[in-house]
């Protein structure tokens, strides 16, 4: 960590509602403050537990002139009186006191909502922790987690990890740390999938990927494996449908820069590159056939077929054979 060059700003704002990032930012801020002022006295409390006199007491000049850090958590829930008291304090911060306001960015009352703006205009140091909603931000998060843990991971590996674990940052962070500590060398898709083999989505994709390259024995084996693990039929069917339509989409889009195509086709660039390796052997008419197979399958696994496992097996076979047949008999 780089050394702290200047004394900490007397007003700190940690703004946002991504819980894990807020926690980390708070911890990091306190760590830095402790480096700057090892003897500082720390008070942490929720805004709703605070009264204006209590706040005044916390930030009033102390007899012994020791440094103090006051962390005001969940400031978006603060009542009007506290909001006004904080705003007043911002205009004239006390020496030797650092006020850290943790705020979600929302708030029930107008005054509580305005707190971040008040702190900003008073010159507070701001750490933003907005909710991670974009896929690219989540991917960046995973890459960073792996790097911080001392490992390396490629784009397909990142995607496989998100597919397997889901979008919760806390779970992603712990999965990333776990993977790095359990494996030597860079992490790729195969490693991630091997590691998370029990996960439904991953095994569904394994079936689909073998089927669309015409690997009949491989696809059937992966399917039996998935079914023996209790992977829901619907998930395997969805994965198969996604794989077939991805092939049709990427093949129809022709060549060109995968990054440009990614935007056009609504899939990540690494996937465009991966699917490009799967389009060999496919013809227009065999794709027509495969797309009808997966559409029928979607209805079958939702209760139309007496035996959904058999319906899946047949669909996997038909897709793999369509790829191999290349040309539809007309």
> What does the binding site for another protein look like in residue numbers (CB under 8 A)?
241, 245, 248-249, 251-253, 284-285, 287-288, 291-292, 294-296, 298-299, 302, 304
**C-alpha distance from residue 235 to each of 19, 161, 182, 231, 263 (Å):** 30, 17, 28, 7, 26
Pick the closer one to another protein by CB: 32 or 296.
296
If the CB atoms of residues 176 and 293 are measured against another protein, the closer one turns out to be 293
What whole-number distance in Å separates Cα of residue 320 and Cα of residue 317?
5
CB of 211 to another protein, least distance (A): 16
| Nearest Cα to Cα of residue 129 among 221, 17, 285, 258 | 17
Tell me the torsion sign for CA atoms 154, 158, 163, 165: positive
Residues 6 or more apart whose CB falls under 8 angstroms from that of 73 comprise 26, 44, 45, 46, 47, 102
Q: Which is nearer to another protein, 200 or 291 (CB)?
A: 291
Q: Are strands 125-128 and 11-15 parallel, antiparallel or unpaired?
A: parallel
The DSSP-derived string for 154-205 is -HHHHHHHHHHH-S-HHHHHHHHHHHHHH--S-B-HHHHHHHTTT-HHHHHH
Token code pair at residue 248 = 């049709």
* Residue pair 104/76 in contact by the 8 Å Cβ criterion: yes
Q: What is the DSSP letter of 81?
A: H
Residue 52 near residue 85, CB atoms below 8 Å = yes
170 vs 302, beta carbon nearer another protein:
302
In the bound state with another protein, the residue whose beta carbon lies nearer, of 81 and 284, is: 284
Interior/surface letters 294-317, b for 16+ CB within 10 angstroms, e for the rest: bebbbebbeeebeebeebbbbbbb
- Please say which residue, 155 or 234, places its beta carbon nearer to another protein: 234
CB of 42 to another protein, least distance (A): 37
Residue nearer to another protein on the CB measure, 45 or 249: 249
Judged by beta carbon, residue 54 or residue 245, the one nearer another protein is 245
- What are the angstrom distances between the C-alpha of 34 and each of 8, 39, 42, 129? 10, 7, 9, 22
Cβ 324 to another protein, closest distance in Å?
Answer: 19
Angle, CA of 267, 268 and 274, to the nearest 5°: 95
Looking at beta carbons only, is 217 or 254 nearer to another protein?
Answer: 254
């Amino acid at each position: 960590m780089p050394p702290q060059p200047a004394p900490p700003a007397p007003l700190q704002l940690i703004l946002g509602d991504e819980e894990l990032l807020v926690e980390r930012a708070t911890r990091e801020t306190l760590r830095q403050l402790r480096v700057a002022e090892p003897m500082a006295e720390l008070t942490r409390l929720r805004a709703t537990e605070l009264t204006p006199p209590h706040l005044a007491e916390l930030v009033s000049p102390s007899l012994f002139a020791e440094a103090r850090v006051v962390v005001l958590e969940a400031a978006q829930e603060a009542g009007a009186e506290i909001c006004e008291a904080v705003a007043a304090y911002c205009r004239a911060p006390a020496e030797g006191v650092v006020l850290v306001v943790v705020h979600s960015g929302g708030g029930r009352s107008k005054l509580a909502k305005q707190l971040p703006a008040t702190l900003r205009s008073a010159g507070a140091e701001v750490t933003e922790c907005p909710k991670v909603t974009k896929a690219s931000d989540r991917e960046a998060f995973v890459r960073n987690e792996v790097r911080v843990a001392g490992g390396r991971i490629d784009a397909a590996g990142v995607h496989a990890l998100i597919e397997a674990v889901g979008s919760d940052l806390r779970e992603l962070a712990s999965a990333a740390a776990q993977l790095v500590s359990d494996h030597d060398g860079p992490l790729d898709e195969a490693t991630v999938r091997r590691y998370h083999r029990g996960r439904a989505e991953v095994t569904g994709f394994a079936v689909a990927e073998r089927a669309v390259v015409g690997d009949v024995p491989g696809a059937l084996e992966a399917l039996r494996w998935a079914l023996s693990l209790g992977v829901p039929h619907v998930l395997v069917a969805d994965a198969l449908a996604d794989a077939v339509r991805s092939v049709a989409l990427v093949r129809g889009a022709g060549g060109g820069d995968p990054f440009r195509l990614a935007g056009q086709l609504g899939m990540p660039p690494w996937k465009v590159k991966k699917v490009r390796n799967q389009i060999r052997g496919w013809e227009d008419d065999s794709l027509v056939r495969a797309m009808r197979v997966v559409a029928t399958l979607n209805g079958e696994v939702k209760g139309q077929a007496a035996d959904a496992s058999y319906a899946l097996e047949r669909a996997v076979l038909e897709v793999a054979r369509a790829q191999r047949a290349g040309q539809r008999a007309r």
